[in-house]
């Protein structure tokens, strides 16, 4: 089966006073109907990769790639108008903080309807039904009430569920989730993950899950890319993450305090210059 999304040698660079800064330096991967985790520390280029796919890198930032195809069609540097049609209908994105992604002066219901109608051109009535259906699908107990609520009237966890409902309403093929649960408390986090888990599974979507949390990605995803300084340093099945070979991945795992494994001192990651240029380790 051909992949939903195919990226080859993606580069994102920004001009700075001291020359070009390369945020992403040659990232390649294919995404099928699976959950792909992208892990790395801040500045590793993981979010920038997601933004580049969605065409959200603003000038003077530059996006280059040998190939960036969505279902066999190139989406590299499309004109903004075409990209806007694509965003939402075929690829969607859920960001870290729902507070900043929802319009504060529009009711939740209208926002979902608006996005849906923009991409499908359906009637208001159909959009309304769809919005209520989606709110129910993200396990909001009283969809009617939330439909008429403003974003400031809902909690963080609820806001993130609304975002997911909004993003999945036009039935996209790919969902890019950029740290979707980092702003949430643990108990709420698991609920949101459960909802995403079910929806993505049921619709056979491709999911790119961008996170700094290795354990979470290991538990939630099928496959993991570990990024360091704009490159993928290791790619492996999520269940084998704890048997990672690359010293960076190992270092990250060891530096986490764990409830089940008390240590006197935490292991500190010793960064090596060579990691910046090393090619990704072969996947078995």
Q: Which parts of this chain interact with another protein (CB under 8 A)?
A: 17, 41-42, 156, 185-190, 193-194, 197-198, 201, 212, 214-216, 219-220, 251-252, 255-260, 262-263, 265-269
Report angle CA 247, 252, 257 to the nearest 5 degrees: 135
Closer to another protein by CB, 175 or 252: give it. 252
- Least distance from another protein to the Cβ atom of residue 151, Å: 17
HEC sequence for the chain: CCCCEEEEEEEEEEEECCEEEEEEEEEEEEECCCEEEEECCCCCCHHHHHHHHCCCCCCCCEEECCEEEECCEECCCCCHHHHHHHHHHCEEEECCCHHHHCCCCCCHHHHHHHHHHHHHCCCHHHHHHHHHHHHHHCCCCCHHHHHCCCHHHCCHHHHHHHHHHHHHCCCCCEEEEECCCCCCCHHHHHHHHHHHHHHHHHHCCEEEEEECCHHHHHHHCCEEEEEECCEEEEEEEHHHHHHCCCHHHHHHHHHCCECCECCCCCCCCCCCHHHHCCCCECCC
- Least distance from another protein to the Cβ atom of residue 42, Å: 6
Closer to another protein by CB, 134 or 184: give it. 184
- Least distance from another protein to the Cβ atom of residue 106, Å: 25
- Least distance from another protein to the Cβ atom of residue 37, Å: 12
- Least distance from another protein to the Cβ atom of residue 256, Å: 5
- Least distance from another protein to the Cβ atom of residue 268, Å: 5
Closer to another protein by CB, 52 or 196: give it. 196
- Least distance from another protein to the Cβ atom of residue 259, Å: 5
* Cβ count near 1 (within 10 Å): 5
Q: Are residues 187 and 1 in contact, defined by beta-carbon separation less than 8 angstroms?
A: no
Closer to another protein by CB, 85 or 271: give it. 271
Distance CA 4, CA 81 (A): 22
Closer to another protein by CB, 110 or 156: give it. 156
Closer to another protein by CB, 69 or 234: give it. 234
Closer to another protein by CB, 116 or 220: give it. 220
Closer to another protein by CB, 41 or 142: give it. 41
Q: Are residues 3 and 32 in contact, defined by beta-carbon separation less than 8 angstroms?
A: yes
- Least distance from another protein to the Cβ atom of residue 3, Å: 20
């Amino acid at each position: 089966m051909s992949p939903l999304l195919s990226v080859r040698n993606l580069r994102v660079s920004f001009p700075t006073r001291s020359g070009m800064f390369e945020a992403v330096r040659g990232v390649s991967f294919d995404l099928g109907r699976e959950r792909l985790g992208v892990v790395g520390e801040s500045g590793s280029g993981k979010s920038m990769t997601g933004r580049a796919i969605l065409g959200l890198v603003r000038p003077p930032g530059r996006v280059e790639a040998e190939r960036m195809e969505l279902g066999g069609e190139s989406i590299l540097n499309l004109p903004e108008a075409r990209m806007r049609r694509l965003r939402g209908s075929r690829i969607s994105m859920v960001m870290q903080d729902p507070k900043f992604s929802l319009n504060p002066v529009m009711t939740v219901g209208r926002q979902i309807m608006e996005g849906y109608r923009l991409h499908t051109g359906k009637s208001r009535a159909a959009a309304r039904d769809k919005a209520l259906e989606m709110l129910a699908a993200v396990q909001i107990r009283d969809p009617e009430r939330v439909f008429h609520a403003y974003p400031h009237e809902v909690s963080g966890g609820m806001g993130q569920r609304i975002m997911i409902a909004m993003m999945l309403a036009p039935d996209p093929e790919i969902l890019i989730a950029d740290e979707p649960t980092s702003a949430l408390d643990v108990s709420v986090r698991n609920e949101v993950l459960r909802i995403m888990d079910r929806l993505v599974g049921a619709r056979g979507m491709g999911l790119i899950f961008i996170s700094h949390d290795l354990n979470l990605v290991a538990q939630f995803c099928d496959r993991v890319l570990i990024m360091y300084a704009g490159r993928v340093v290791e790619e492996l099945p999520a269940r084998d993450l704890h048997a990672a070979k690359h010293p960076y991945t190992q270092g990250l795992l060891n530096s986490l305090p764990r409830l089940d494994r008390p240590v006197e001192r935490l292991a500190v990651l010793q960064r090596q210059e060579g990691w910046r240029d090393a090619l990704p380790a072969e996947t078995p």
